[in-house]
Amino acid sequence: MRVGVGGALAVALALLLACACTDPVHSDRVDALGGELPGTHPGPDHRPGQPCTYCHGGQGPAGPVFDLAGTVFLEPLGDAFGVEGAEVELMDRTGKIVGAGTNRSGNFFFRDGELGLEFPLRTRIRYGGGDFIEMTTPIFRARSCGECHSGAGPDSVPRIFVQGTP
Amino acid sequence: MTRLSRFLWVVLVGASSACSPPEKDARETFRTPDEADFARVSAVLEARCGSLDCHGQMGRSLRIFGRNGLRASRDDVSGADAGVPTRPEEELANYASVVAIEPEILDRVVVEGGKSPERLTLVRKARGSEHHKGGRAWEEGGAADRCFVSWLRGKVDTAACEQGKELGFLPWP
């Protein structure tokens, strides 16, 4: 096959653009998430507890894009899947509140444009008709709960859980 | 000595001094605001800047430790429920982080009694007058701003610092 100068330039330009558009930090984060849990497939129930917007944040590789997303668990440790039916509420400094419920794997999410709040955000959760439990500190800019709620430690906090409520 | 040779001597002397390295043990001294009064300022920074999703991260040049954010010791955990209060060594680390960002500029601000604090990038970003990914951390002239600026001036406004820790959310309905 003979490729002319124009063709060679086009290929070189395409390769250059492909390289230029790859964010290695983002790629590494996505790769570090690993595979799906056994028996699960991509969808609203998958990857509970993981930082959802690493993939659903607009840089890919997954869609739809979420404004904010997370998972509510029954306990700080244990079951890999969260609880269904937990209520999550977020409020900004103007007092505007939006809410979401968790699905069968404990996941909740606000799709692109659904959140409509200005950071920072106060957050509270409730499960089974119990009292709301408020998060101690506001969310300043993270759009995935799993970014910080990845386990108790010096640089992370336990996953979100509702143990102690009915 | 001709005019040309005089000129060459001047160039030679000038060039040699411009290229001379600093002394091996040379040290530059910068003045900083008082460390003793920083705890109140640190509390404001912890509340407004030091969450785990912002400056409560090890990779930040402005790195803020605190009870509800990043902990300095591997033995401490983050969070009000299980975490011990912010330790004095964490406040000291916060102090070191703040004064080490722009020591030359901070020196000038301190020497001039806190005049024009907006020379500091930290102040500009916190006020939102310079792009800041986390948005505006405090308003110019607000309690948190007055707390920080008062520390730069050498006399911490305790009331402003207490007020500045509060983020101004409305109560839940």
Residues A75-79: contacts with CB under 8 Å, at least 24 apart: A75/A161, A75/A163, A76/A152, A76/A158, A76/A159, A76/A161, A76/A163, A77/A158
Greater confidence (A8 vs A132) lies with: A132
Q: Is A35 on the interface with B (CB under 8 A)?
A: no
The answer to whether A160 and A147 are in contact (CB under 8 A) is no
Q: What is the separation of C-alpha B166 from the centre of its chain, rounded to a whole number of angstroms?
A: 20
Contacts of B56 (CB under 8 A, 6+ apart): A155, B50, B63, B64, B65, B66, B69, B70, B78
B52, B82, B170 member nearest A152 (Cβ): B82
Q: Summarize the confidence of residues A72-95 as an average pLDDT.
A: 94
B58, B68, B173 member nearest A136 (Cβ): B68
Contacts of A49 (CB under 8 A, 6+ apart): A71, A73, A80, A82, A106, A146, A149, A150, A159
**Residue B82: CB atoms within 10 Å:** 12
Percentage of residues of chain A with pLDDT beyond 70: 92
Q: Summarize the confidence of residues B11-23 as an average pLDDT.
A: 73
B53, B78, B81 member nearest A154 (Cβ): B78
- Between A2-6, A11-15, A112-116, A146-150, the lowest mean confidence (pLDDT) is in A2-6
Whether the complex's predicted ipTM surpasses the cut of 0.90? no
Contacts of A73 (CB under 8 A, 6+ apart): A48, A49, A79, A81, A82, A83, A106, A159, A160, A161, A162
Minimal-distance CA residue of chain B relative to A133:
B172
A58, A64, A135, A148, B41 from A159: Cα distances, Å: 24, 23, 12, 8, 30
Whether the upstream peptide bond of residue B22 has omega within 30° of 0, thus cis, is: no
Local structure of A134: helix, strand or coil? strand
DSSP state of A151: S
Whether the upstream peptide bond of residue A51 has omega within 30° of 0, thus cis, is: no
The two structure tokens encoding residue A102: 């968790």
Q: Is A98 on the interface with B (CB under 8 A)?
A: no
Contact yes or no for A140 and B57 at CB 8 A: no
The answer to whether A146 and A128 are in contact (CB under 8 A) is no
Contact yes or no for A154 and B77 at CB 8 A: yes
Local structure of A56: helix, strand or coil? helix
Contacts of A28 (CB under 8 A, 6+ apart): none
Q: Is the pLDDT of residue B40 over 90?
A: yes
The answer to whether B48 and B138 are in contact (CB under 8 A) is yes
How close is the nearest chain B Cα to the Cα of A113, in Å? 19
Nearest-angstrom CA–CA distance, A12 and B128: 42
**Residue A141: CB atoms within 10 Å:** 15
Crossing angle for the helix pair B143-153 and B103-111, to the nearest 10 degrees: 80
Contact yes or no for B78 and A122 at CB 8 A: no
Q: How much is the pTM?
A: 0.83
Domains of chain A: 46-166 (2.60.40)
Domain definitions of chain B by residue range:
3-8+32-164
Model confidence at A136, pLDDT cuts 50, 70, 90, reads: confident
Contact yes or no for B53 and A156 at CB 8 A: no
Model confidence at A18, pLDDT cuts 50, 70, 90, reads: low
Residue type, B64: I
The answer to whether B123 and B137 are in contact (CB under 8 A) is no
Q: Sort out which chain B residues have CB atoms less than 8 A from A97's CB and list them.
A: 172-173
Q: Sort out which chain A residues have CB atoms less than 8 A from B72's CB and list them.
A: 154
What does the pLDDT read at residue A1?
56
Q: Is A28 on the interface with B (CB under 8 A)?
A: no
Q: Sort out which chain B residues have CB atoms less than 8 A from A153's CB and list them.
A: 77-78
- Find, among A104, A100, A37, the residue nearest to A69 by Cα: A100
Tens digit of each residue's pLDDT (9 = 90 or more) over B68-117: 899 999 888 888 666 689 999 999 999 999 999 999 999 999 999 999 99
- Find, among B165, B101, B27, the residue nearest to A138 by Cα: B165
Greater confidence (A78 vs B95) lies with: B95
Greater confidence (B95 vs B17) lies with: B95
